[in-house]
Structure formats: C-alpha cells, structure tokens
Structure 1
Amino acid sequence: MSATSGSGLVYDKRFLAHDTGVEDKVNMREGSFQVSPEVHPSAFTIIRRTKEFLDGAELTARMIPIPARAASEDELLMCHTREYIVGIRELSYQGVTGPLTASWGEIDEDTVLSPGSFDAAVYAAGGAMNAVQAVLDGTVRNAYALLRPPGHHATHNQALGFCLFNNVALVAQYARRVLGLERIMIVDWDVHHGNGTQDAFYADPGILFVSLHQHDWFPPSGGNLDQVGIDAGRGYTVNIPLPPGTGDVGYLAAFEQIIVPIGTLYRPQLVLVSAGQDASWLDPLAQMMMTMDGYRNLTRCLLEFSENICAGRLLMCHEGGYSAPYVPYCTAAIVEALVGVDLGIVDLYATSNELLRCQTIFSQETQQALLTARKWHQHWWKI
C-alpha cells in the first residue's frame, strides 16, 4: 500500500482502561434501591466492539497502523490549564467521579473517572497528534483515530459530557504550533454540540469550526445560530442546529448547501472531523435518524472536498456514539469510504421500513432549518 493512497488507523488497548462502569442505582426522593446493572452509555465495550468489527471486515488489514503515545503535559497545555491536568490525573487515579467543583475546575455529573482514565486520555490525545503528523508528512493520505475517551465537550478546565481532554482541539493546535499550518477546518458531526472546541477557538480566525447537531439538546444553549465567534473570530464559528429526524438526506444537504461552500471559501490546509456516530437512528441519546450509508456519504463528501482543497488531508477523531450494536456499522462505513472500498457489509436492519425512512426522509422542518442557517451564515460567507 503506497503512502499516497493509504489510510491510517489509530487504536490502542490503553483506551479501554477508561472504564465508566455500570448504572444500577435508582434514586428516590427518599432513599434508593438497586436493579440489575447496565453498562454506562459511554462504555469501553463500544470501542472494543468497533475495533473487532474493523478487524473482522478486514478493514484494519487495509490500513496503515499509527501508534498512539502519551501526550506531554506541555502539549495538553495548548488547550487546558496545568491545574486542570493535575486535578484530572489525581482524581482519575483515585477513581473519583463527578459532579465535583474544585479551585482548578469542574467535572459534571455524567463524566466518570476510573484509575485508567488519565492514561487512556493522554494516549488518545497523543495518538491523534501522531495521526495528524502522519497525514501531513505523507505517511498516510487520511486517517481515522478510534479514540477513547471522547473530547469535544471538554473545555480548558471542565470535564463535561464524558470528555476529559479535547482531542480535536489539541490536534488543531499541534498542527499549527508544531507543524506550521495557518488555516484548519474542524467539522463536528457529533449529535451533541462541540462546545469545548467552539470555546477554544471562538476568537480565532485560524480555525473554522463548523458544528451540525440536534437543536437545543446538549449542552444547554449550545450551538445556537447566533454563536458565531467574537472579535477577529467573528464568522469563523458556524453552527447548524438541526431538528430531530433530519436523516441521511438532510445531513448531506447541510454539507452540500452550507459546509462545503463555506469551506471552499475558507480553503483550509487540513480538515479535522469530530466523528461522533450518535446521530444514528439506533442511538439512545438522540433522535436524528442517520444510517451507516448516511455516514458513508458524508465521508465521501468530505473526501472530495479535501481532495479539491487541501491535497486530501483529512483526519477523523472518534467522539460519541452509544448504540453498541450500531456504532461499529456506522464507523465501518466511514472507514470504507476513507480506504476507498465497499466490502458489502449488510446493514444491521437492512429490510426494515424504519431504515428506509431514515435514508429517504427530508422533512419540511429540516429544509426550513437549512434555509434559515444558510441565510444566517450569508452575513459572513457568500454562499
């Protein structure tokens, strides 16, 4: 496999050491009781299953392995405070979880820390940095980083929404400060708004941050149209809130009508993707109705865009996705597109009427949301 055509893959068993445990306690207004345990929504088994799926489909064998490494403290400081890093390290080793507020920052009630969480998080960040290095030096054409824990909700001093360190923001800073890039585009298709990434670059025209997400979902008040950046960064934050039930057609329309035209005007030197597969129709934490074919088509769209604009430099960093049965299917479809193959993987519920509906729906509500977003962003971009 030649470097110019090869796709890279980042994965490390250390990622699985971030153990979010089980949920088995029911709280009452007075007291509580136990029920049979179910795994936490952000379970390590989802990433493990996804890697097994890539292996079984022989996709891993078609990719160039990119080793993970521990990000240094100086590298983490590109997006996080030293006090926050120390606090997360100490609490992880103790196995303390949120909610917690300290002088150095916060951990929200949904974010679980285990003794292996800190090491998993620094290896995820370092692995993503190794991936962008490989993309930019030509070792690989593009890459998928199958990371855990996710990162796009993490701010400089807050662990939020299952996220500890902001992988994609750290990669963007690494690509600029270490590798010398000046313009980077981040596309966040996770169903939840990438508030931490937005915060990191809100006044920064060197990063074009684009997020499409379920409207008014998580975090509260995150990703509204009027959040466009400040000062020199005004217009370089592009939020596209979408209604429940948007589906494959609506997501692709958002790319074709808004994201690609804006990106073409911006002309980034690198495209990064916060790839959360939690907009799928089987995800328990959202209602957006995407399918594996939808993710395949979004990836093909970004591949064509990056080929035209930045010599194919594209790195996808895994974020959310909470359907243990379906995340592997969606991720495999993305990787198939990156590698340039179609191995004939049959969708999990290939004959269901619901799947066909997800693939074909394009509601009036979605069309209006896209029209509204496009008109709004025309204040800053001639699209």
Structure 2
Amino acid sequence: MPASTTGLVFDERYLGHDTGAQTTVTMRDGSFSLVPEPHPSSSFITQRIKQFLDGSGLTAQMIPITARAAHEDELAVYHSREYIAGIRALSEGVGPMKGFWGEAELDAPLNYASYEAALYAAGGAMNAVSAVMNGEVRNTYALLRPPGHHAMKNKAMGFCIFGNAVIAAHYARKRYGLERVMIVDWDVHHGNGTQNAFYQDPSVLFVSLHQHNWYPKLSGELEQVGSGMGAGYTVNIPLPAGTGDRGYRAAFEQLVVPIGLQFRPQLIIISAGQDANWLDPLAQMMVTMEGFRQLSVYMVELANEVCDGRLVMLQEGGYSAAYVPYCAVAAIEPLLNVDLGIVDLYATSSELERCGTILTVETLRALKAARHWHKQWWKV
C-alpha cells in the first residue's frame, strides 16, 4: 500500500451544479428585490472546502481518485429509469419539475450542468469504494456535489438528486460481494433516501444521527427500524437541538460504536454532513470543529477494528460558508492520522466553549430513549 493511505475524490464538474441565488422577497401583494444571497447549498462552500484542503497541505498528502459518470444501470439499482430520464430533461431545460417520471421539489434546484454533476457525484462515490476495496488506499474522502442522502427512488429533494451513498453501497455489494455494509449518517437532517433504500435489507446497517423532527418532517423517528428481514437494521438516533459535542460523543460511545462492533461491517460509508455545526443556518445542534474530529476518530477506530480500516467518507450537507471547511477538514484529518494544528475560527469565543461542554437533560433523555428502543435488537 502506498505511503499515503487516504484518497481524495473531487471533480471540477461538481462546481457546475449551480443552485442559484435568493433575490426576491414575496409579499401578499407584489414583491421586491435584494442584493443576491447565495443559495444555502452553494457551490461556493464546496469550493472553499477544496481550497481549505489545498491550502492546509492535506490535498498533497492524499492520493487523487478520479471521478467518473455513473451509468444508467448503476443508478437504476435504486432510482427508476423514468426518474433518471426526467432529471436529465429537467436539467436540460426541456422537462417539467413533476410528471409521470417523478418530481424535483423546489428545494432541489437544477441547472444545465446539474445532471452531469450528479452523474459524476454518484460515479465518484463508486470510485471511492473501488479505491478502498482494491487496496489502492486505506480510506477515502469524496468531496461530492450535489449531495445525495435525501434523494428518493423518483424524487429529488433536500438539495439531493441521486443517492450517492445508496449507489456506493449497492456497488460495493455487487462488485466486491460484500455481505455487510454500514452507513453512518451524521448529517443534521435525516437521510430519508438512504433509509428508504435499505429499509428491508439486513445486509446494510443504516445508522442516522439527526436533529429530531427537523427535515424531512417526522422522518427518522426511533420507531422507524426497518421492516421484514431488515427490522433492526435501521438505527435512528434523533437528538434535540443543542446536543453539542458531548451529546454526540455519548451517542457514538453508547450506540453507534457498540452496534457497529456487533454488526462487524466489511466496509463503512459515512454520509458526512457538517450542518450540525454551531454556526449552521439550517440547524441548531452546536457541534464544533473539534466535535467533528472526534466523530471521525470513532469511525476510523471502528473501521480499523472490524474491516481493516476500509472507510469511505462522502460529503453531504453543511451551510455555513465560514465554518464548514474547518469542520470538514477536522473530520478528514483522522483519516490520515494527522493533526495540522488548524486553529478554530472562533477559538476565543465563549459560545465555542459552551458548545464543547453543554449536555442537557433533553439530550440525556433522548439517548436513554434510543438505548431503550434499540436494545430490542442490539446490546446497548
């Protein structure tokens, strides 16, 4: 294995997916315009993460993994062929947002380059898996755009078009014959698309930590555990606003890691959104840069214990342009077993200190409820 054991997937095509800007204020009667504000899921954030990787020297320590366009057959393991064609037509500006093929909700805007970007995001996720499974690298971080964990079989939603993690897991099973894949989704919004894809499948363990009843509405409740043979293999851990670093660490120590040790996956895929960060405009979970580093450490240690370190980290959400790059790099550093000494953007703030120490009664109750519920299937 080469000296550097971490791969990096990135493709300039990802930046072509333009979600636009918000300029119009609608009133009961009429409207007016403001100076444009970038869409929350802006390519600017992806670009800043890549610049952060480059400037910090991390890129130079990682092995580049080329992305590719996913083929229709590869997408069709989850998405309907009608949906794939509908998304292409919509991206090309010749199709409706809703039809017999499915739909793209208003929170999943597309432009002329979105279809190609989404193909390369799904293909990049599969190539990340290949690099790890072929032994080219020990683990891989894929800076993908658009994200994927909300995408349904025939619906684009929540900024997502194709289910990157879903397609990667299917690919790992088909191409490499894996019998057990674990997907850990720490994006602050529930990965409803990933859950839907494997809800009846005991070979894929889906574990999601998310802000309770946030987005999508009522998605990711404790009671959603899978069905049929898949019962128990969907593990939702809904957490209250203000959970902070300590609450997330407790969730990993009490639930995620013990369940992973029992399941013993042959590959771990992380849906790594950084939108649980304390500065994110779309959530209120109060996780810091150091908090994300610790979550990644847990996952690297678990992968080392159960599957020879085989781990693929896929970028999902994160909407603070200032802070997300700090959190993303903090999560990537453990993959390389390095600490570059990057100082938190708000290192001297009392708010940052509070995020690192808070542990509320509500969080403790949520963790107790999750342990009580999931012990029907796991020793937690």
Kept after mapping to 1: 8 A contact 2:4/2:62: no
Give the CA deviation at 1:5. 5.2
Q: C-alpha distance in 1, partners of 2:77/2:28?
A: 43
How far did 1:378 drift?
0.4
Aligned to 1:298: 295
TM superposition shift of 1:155: 0.7
Partner of 1:62: 61
Q: Are 2:254 and 1:257 equivalent residues in the alignment?
A: yes
* Two-structure CA RMSD over aligned residues (Å): 1.1
Residue 86 (structure 2) pairs with residue 87 (structure 1): yes
Aligned-partner Cα distance in 1 for 2:78–2:292: 29
Q: Does 1:328 find its partner at 2:325?
A: yes
Q: Please tell me the residue identity of whatever aligns with 2:89.
A: E
Q: Where do 1:1-383 residues align within 5 Å? A: 2-3=1-2, 6-94=5-93, 100-383=97-380
8 Å CA contact retained: 1:3, 1:141:
no
TM-score by length of 1: 0.98
Any idea what SS the aligned residue of 1:79 has? coil
Unaligned runs of 5+ in 1: none
Contact 1:19 1:113 in 2 (8 A): yes
Question: How far apart are residue 101 of structure 1 and its match?
Answer: 2.3
CA distance in 1, matches of 2:109, 2:356: 35
2:78–2:153: 8 Å Cα contact kept in structure 1? Answer: yes
Asked if the contact 2:4/2:63 (under 8 Å) is kept, the reply is no
Q: C-alpha displacement at 1:279, in angstroms?
A: 0.2
Work out the CA distance in 2 between the residues paired with 1:60 and 1:382. 40
SS at match of 2:176: coil
Aligned residues: 380
* Unaligned stretches of 5+ residues in structure 2: none
Q: What's the CA shift string for 1:40-76, capped at 9, x where partnerless?
A: 0000010001000000000000000000000001111
Q: Counterparts of 1:226 and 1:357 in 2: how far apart (Å)?
A: 32
CA contact (8 A) 1:7 1:339 kept: yes
Work out whether residues 15 and 46 of structure 2, in 8 Å CA contact, stay in contact via their aligned partners in 1.
yes
Preserved contact between residue 4 and residue 138 of structure 1 (Cα < 8 Å): no
Distance in 2 (alpha carbons) for counterparts of 1:299 and 1:182: 24
How far apart are 1:107 and its partner, in Å?
Answer: 1.1
SS at match of 1:208: strand
**Structure 2 length as normaliser, TM-score?**
0.98
Kindly state the Cα deviation for residue 301 of structure 1 after the two structures are TM-superposed.
Answer: 0.6
Offset, 1:318: 0.2
Residue 169 of structure 1 and its aligned partner are, at CA, apart by 0.3
How far the C-alpha of 1:96 sits from its partner, in A, is 7.0
4+ runs of 1 displaced by more than 6 Å? none
Question: How far, CA to CA, are the matches of 1:358 and 1:3 in structure 2?
Answer: 38
Q: CA deviation at 1:337?
A: 1.1
Aligned equivalents of 1:50 and 1:230: distance in 2? Answer: 38
Name the SS of the counterpart of 2:44 in structure 1: helix
Checking the alignment, whether the CA contact within 8 Å between 2:184 and 2:269 is kept in structure 1 is yes
Deviation digits for residues 309-349 of structure 1 (CA, Å, limit 9, x no counterpart): 11101100000000001110001111111111111100000
Distance verdict in 2 for CA 1:4–1:270, change over 3 Å: farther
Query: How far apart are 1:363 and its partner, in Å?
Result: 1.1
Distance in 1 (alpha carbons) for counterparts of 2:3 and 2:90? 43
Q: Percent of counterpart pairs with the same letter?
A: 62
Aligned-pair distance for 1:31?
2.2
Preserved CA contact (<8 Å) 2:86 2:95? no
- The alignment partner of 1:118 has SS state of helix
Q: Which whole-Å CA distance do the structure 2 matches of 1:96 and 1:244 have between them?
A: 39
The answer (yes or no) to whether the contact 1:96–1:112 under 8 Å persists in 2 is no
Q: CA–CA distance in 1 between the matches of 2:143 and 2:291?
A: 19
Contact 2:188 2:210 in 1 (8 A): yes
